[in-house]
Structure 1
């Protein structure tokens, strides 16, 4: 039942005072502050103490959940290695003037190396060097385990149709090196029994299972399965588990790590990536040197043939003329002619070089190595003596180098960048071709001029002795070709030495090691999370029980949440033995209940002197809190002390006092107030000579109006002449106004609170009656208190009041609700 709000309580008080407004004024704001507000630390500690077993259980459940998660989760292992890119050595080889270290350029180069490691070039070599095309698994109860390198059989296959790539083939080993193979073809399962090393034909493959050194006869009835992966699946697997990142740009270090459920497989893949990357870098480093050596080899062969021809001509002339003598006046002319011919040879080499450069420009690229210059790629380019051409060739070289990097790390979204660089290459190549054509034309003009001058000199030499002239003519090409040949030989030796000393431009600082512990799940973290969840749930349980603890359970809570003094405590009693309130103090005067009520009787002496007539009212908030039980037994204890006591049952809507004494209720207060019976006619005797009672009588339609009738005061005055103590069992004040009206007329108003049954919100009524209603002598009694003061209460004597209508008059009356049955119903009732 809900407790009346402030306005309803004030209305009750105004009714009690006849609507005159004589009630005490409303309490000020500080006085209106709720008693007992704030954190109840003792209650919290008590709830925590009683929740400790549940908290411990939740912690154990959290640990059990963590163990279960670890048991049924595949561990992930990670193997890592660290490599260092030797950027300083590359810069030294470039040897470009005015070169300044650029950190951003270094970062870009490292990013390019990262993309190279994660490219299909590395993946394809991994597929060729590691057995990643077939995965072997041993099936367990819950999880399967990959067998990397220790499978009892090996699958050899040839592809017929790639329709069964990435599908599961189940293998069950049988006795005698036999096995059963099953797989799905569409929705149909196909299986068959075969012998190891026997060819098996499937719609997609020709298979053959070959036993390995791990095979034994004890593996019979073991179940395995394998999958044959295509290149796309392997690339996806590598991309998903491979991590390549720049560790320190300043130190040019890159970290390579791979994650897998099998630690041996993760380590093998990382080590193989390091070795494959090493081979790729070596190939890239030697490719430019190979091209340069091929160019020098061609020039050397051509120059050797020309030198041999010149030597043969000179040898033939000497053999025929058998002389080396020449006239002195031929010396100067011969020298001039020799100079002209040397100059012409230079121009011819220049023309040949222009032709070769033009041919190279028309090709895809000039150089293959990032660390070569244009002069290193094309020996003799400086002979052209054209700074503009050299500059354009350098620009073309850089553009082609940039183009190669983009193509090596090509991404689908880089198409626009590729087109832009292709346009730049085309414009630069056109400019270089134009300059080459201009230089070639100039060289041809200079050669023509030299030819004209040589013709003039030759004409002069014809007049000289023919032998000397012919000898000098034959010696000049021999000397020229010999010098060129030696120069080319020096270059060949230099590049061969360079080729022999080619090393990769990176170092493996720390190779991959076998991971000992998984990176996921981390056992310590999982157990810590399990403990944390258990602790949070335990604290939530404590907080929930504390917040849902809305009933009064002990005298400390009663004192804390109420401003009225506590008159005493009545211990718990057995509801099974007392279906209704009974007088029990006379049957067992030494029981705990009797002693507790005697203590209440003693405390009454401090409220009202026993030498005077005392009028006591006993009420509660709702029905079921034990006011009738306390009234009957308190009256019995007082009567046993030789005082004359009468109990009046004014709960005319639901009378119970007659039930406590197993008496009838045919007449009583209601018939007295309507003058149907006299007071003496309605007094009933009990087993205790000094204890009498008056029952409520038949339920009237207007109980409140009867109590306000002057006949009620006359009845009390008449009873005061005959009895020392008058105890009035009033209706609950939380439901009707009768209780408040009666409390105005008595000397000692007593408010009953039942432990484990009365809501804490009910105590607000007590504070409001004391502060707002002027009931300064109002006291409280805690009924049905357990020894522990917290849990395990009895719930006898009914629950609450209901409302209905009777007698056809329209006046309300209340009736007791049935007691809830079952644990859930009681819990719902308790926390409602």
Structure 2
């Protein structure tokens, strides 16, 4: 049975990328632990010292207005047409009234909420209400200052010295005043009065208070923002009110007082409407009384002056005559219109058109005969024109006859029109006479009925107003509240804020989020090479043969004998991986030549070349280390030597200097020699281009097993490109957190242009959080276990 091939799909690759993303953050696990710890501790202290807030709720039901009170008064005005179309206020309107600044300012005034009292207890400042030995009354605000800007932001400190004196500290100075005396402050005049009513409930050991002042409007705005007013149900008239405040008693007093002020405001409005309604009705009664008396007087006078009889039969006769006259008038008007139409038709002078007949129904026999004769001639003319033209003598003769008949017919119609006009004028005179007769008798009866109708209307309105005046008087005596309390203000037993679980949970999440954001933002803004994966993504075809750990300032930079540190093991791994680069190297080619370079200075190529040479020397092979950076040599920091001794630059410049003159023992290993860079020449590139450099490398390859070259950075100078052809392998060093990401583009371009060959990457200065297997799996190279203090120190000193 054949096996199907196994493919690595995109989902598997996504899982790998996700795992890499998670591991990137898990490497910084200690910062997440620290973040959670700090945030949780901060949340604990916040909960310890935060002032608990309780929720206080109250509910009321709005009474229907049409059952009395203001609704009754408004309906009275609506019934008599004064407030037409005005309905009762909706519940939504009442909610807006409850939240209005006008009503809240009354609550502030009544409870004195523009002055708040606090007591400092340790680091906490707690508000107190009602149970203090004195209270501050604001007599008058200073109108000459802008209260919005001049009100003090910081509270005044008021202390009770004795039963008669107090001290006030405004932050700059302390003054002493008598209790009950008027005190002038920059923003207002105040008076401090002893709290005699609540003397038995005064706080213990508290005679010093912080007093905060606000304007009436400012305190009302604060209440408007804090009080929540909502409808219990869209189909109900129940309104819920809620207030979250640290002091239960104060919150309860505020809500109860709000309901009280709302009811008082509604009662005032109700009484105002009732009073205005009563005054309006009284005025109307006076006017209607006078009008009713006048109507009754007119009725008596009219009956005595006019003798009224039964005029119904006479009215029927007059109406019949009027109808007959109107009918004749219509007929004559119709005939007049038809005659005018015929005259206009004939005036057109068209011999081809026929005249209409029997339109009016009143033509004389002569006129009808003329019209028939006219139409006969027109028909005869039209028949002749079918086979002839207008120039035919017969046609001309017929046209002449038609013109003569047209003139005759027009004269007849004009005469008929004159007769119709005379008949119409006669009918109009008859109509006028009939109208005059009708107006004399029915007009009196009509006037009499009008007088009676006006009398009945005035009497009904007068009686109605008397009834409404009594209702208004009764409503003024009954002042029922508009809102009925369903539940008085009541506070929760447990505080609603701060909520312990939410605060602690939020602190825990914040402790995770803050390090995450720092790492994420740092990663987004980072333009450096940090881990080997950054190189692998940019240069996937380039082998990475080693990672070198970050070293502290006090750690040794050169590997010692029997060194089992992380640095030593990293170079041993580098040495082993480097051997795979020499798989095709022949013994006849001489020493294995390794060129160590970097993109720019400071990336650690001298550190790598020095320790690589030492590590290769540990294999009992003959190794020579060459300082080929003729411009800025750094090998002296790692392998001590005489700076004045001759080196590579001296050898290339002076033909009298032999190779043996510049080879010196390293002083570290017996089989490790060193050739320093020598004196800094003015023309290093020209020296490296000479023929002597080839002889130099050929001689070294015959003497040693390994040749390690510490060369110059590639991005800055061209020196390394000149000697790269003599190297079997180029070890390219990049420093973690130092080399910029764009350096990989430079490396890629260099490889494409074949300026470098057989290149292997080494990532230097890798932090322990990102470094190889020793940190990840906790392998101890030293063979000794660190103590607890050492482990904690490593956690916080290595990243």
1:790 and 1:560 mapped to 2: Cα distance? 17
Does the 8 Å contact 2:597/2:712 carry over to 1?
A: yes
Shift of 1:610: 4.4
Does the 8 Å contact 2:157/2:210 carry over to 1?
A: yes
Report the counterpart of residue 256 of structure 2 in structure 1: 271
Does the 8 Å contact 1:153/1:210 carry over to 2?
A: yes
Q: How does 1:2-401 map to 2 (within 5 A)?
A: 44-59=21-36, 61-62=38-39, 71=49, 75=53, 78-87=56-65, 89=67, 105-107=87-89, 111=93, 115=97, 132=112, 137-141=117-121, 147-152=128-133, 172-173=159-160, 178=163, 180-183=165-168, 190-192=175-177, 209=194, 211-212=196-197, 214-215=199-200, 219=204, 222-224=207-209, 251-254=236-239, 262-275=247-260, 277-278=262-263, 365-366=277-278
Report the counterpart of residue 488 of structure 2 in structure 1: 512
CA RMSD of aligned residues (A): 6.0
Report the counterpart of residue 734 of structure 1 in structure 2: 715
1:669 and 2:648 correspond? yes
1:718 and 1:205 mapped to 2: Cα distance? 104
1:443 and 2:296 correspond? yes
Report the counterpart of residue 630 of structure 2 in structure 1: 652
Unaligned runs of 5+ in 1: 1-35, 292-363, 369-373, 379-392, 398-431, 454-486, 794-829
Does the 8 Å contact 2:596/2:711 carry over to 1?
A: yes
Q: How does 1:466-505 map to 2 (within 5 A)?
A: 504=480
Q: How does 1:497-646 map to 2 (within 5 A)?
A: 504=480, 506=482, 508=484, 510-516=486-492, 534-547=511-524, 552=529, 555=532, 557-562=534-539, 563-569=541-547, 576=554, 578=556, 584=560, 592=569, 595-596=572-573, 598-600=575-577, 602-610=579-587, 612-621=589-598, 622-635=600-613, 638=616, 644-646=622-624
Does the 8 Å contact 2:549/2:771 carry over to 1?
A: no
Q: Secondary structure at the match of 2:131?
A: coil
Could you report, residue by residue, the CA deviation over 1:43-70 in whole angstroms, capped at 9, with x for unpaired residues?
A: 6545523444433444455556667777
2:41 and 2:61 mapped to 1: Cα distance? 43
2:746 and 2:770 mapped to 1: Cα distance? 22
Q: Classify 1:768/1:169 alpha carbon distance in 2 versus 1 (closer, same or farther; 3 Å).
A: closer
2:114 and 2:731 mapped to 1: Cα distance? 89
Report the counterpart of residue 728 of structure 2 in structure 1: 747
1:609 and 1:209 mapped to 2: Cα distance? 108
Q: Classify 1:184/1:154 alpha carbon distance in 2 versus 1 (closer, same or farther; 3 Å).
A: closer
Q: Classify 1:676/1:583 alpha carbon distance in 2 versus 1 (closer, same or farther; 3 Å).
A: farther
Q: Secondary structure at the match of 1:268?
A: helix
Shift of 1:667: 2.8
1:773 and 2:739 correspond? no
Shift of 1:616: 1.5
Q: Secondary structure at the match of 1:510?
A: strand
Q: Classify 1:144/1:444 alpha carbon distance in 2 versus 1 (closer, same or farther; 3 Å).
A: farther
Does the 8 Å contact 1:132/1:234 carry over to 2?
A: no
Q: Classify 1:735/1:173 alpha carbon distance in 2 versus 1 (closer, same or farther; 3 Å).
A: same
Shift of 1:620: 2.0
Shift of 1:766: 3.5
Could you report, residue by residue, the CA deviation over 1:313-332 in whole angstroms, capped at 9, with x for unpaired residues?
A: xxxxxxxxxxxxxxxxxxxx
Shift of 1:566: 2.8
2:664 and 2:672 mapped to 1: Cα distance? 9
Q: Classify 1:701/1:228 alpha carbon distance in 2 versus 1 (closer, same or farther; 3 Å).
A: closer
2:95 and 2:534 mapped to 1: Cα distance? 75
Shift of 1:736: 1.4
Unaligned runs of 5+ in 2: 1-12, 307-462, 775-797
Could you report, residue by residue, the CA deviation over 1:450-484 in whole angstroms, capped at 9, with x for unpaired residues?
A: 8999xxxxxxxxxxxxxxxxxxxxxxxxxxxxxxx
Q: Classify 1:109/1:442 alpha carbon distance in 2 versus 1 (closer, same or farther; 3 Å).
A: farther
Shift of 1:737: 0.9
Shift of 1:706: 1.5
2:576 and 2:170 mapped to 1: Cα distance? 90
Shift of 1:653: 2.2
Q: Secondary structure at the match of 1:780?
A: strand
Report the counterpart of residue 678 of structure 1 in structure 2: 658
Q: 2:690 aligns with which of 709, 728, 734?
A: 709
Does the 8 Å contact 2:58/2:255 carry over to 1?
A: yes
Does the 8 Å contact 1:585/1:594 carry over to 2?
A: no
Q: Secondary structure at the match of 2:731?
A: strand
TM-score normalised to structure 2 length: 0.55
Does the 8 Å contact 2:39/2:510 carry over to 1?
A: yes
Q: Secondary structure at the match of 2:176?
A: strand
Q: Classify 1:262/1:756 alpha carbon distance in 2 versus 1 (closer, same or farther; 3 Å).
A: closer
Does the 8 Å contact 2:156/2:170 carry over to 1?
A: no
Does the 8 Å contact 1:631/1:728 carry over to 2?
A: yes
Q: Number of paired residues?
A: 578
Could you report, residue by residue, the CA deviation over 1:193-235 in whole angstroms, capped at 9, with x for unpaired residues?
A: 77xxxx7676878876354455389845622477999998998
1:186 and 1:641 mapped to 2: Cα distance? 80
Q: Classify 1:436/1:779 alpha carbon distance in 2 versus 1 (closer, same or farther; 3 Å).
A: same
1:74 and 1:170 mapped to 2: Cα distance? 24
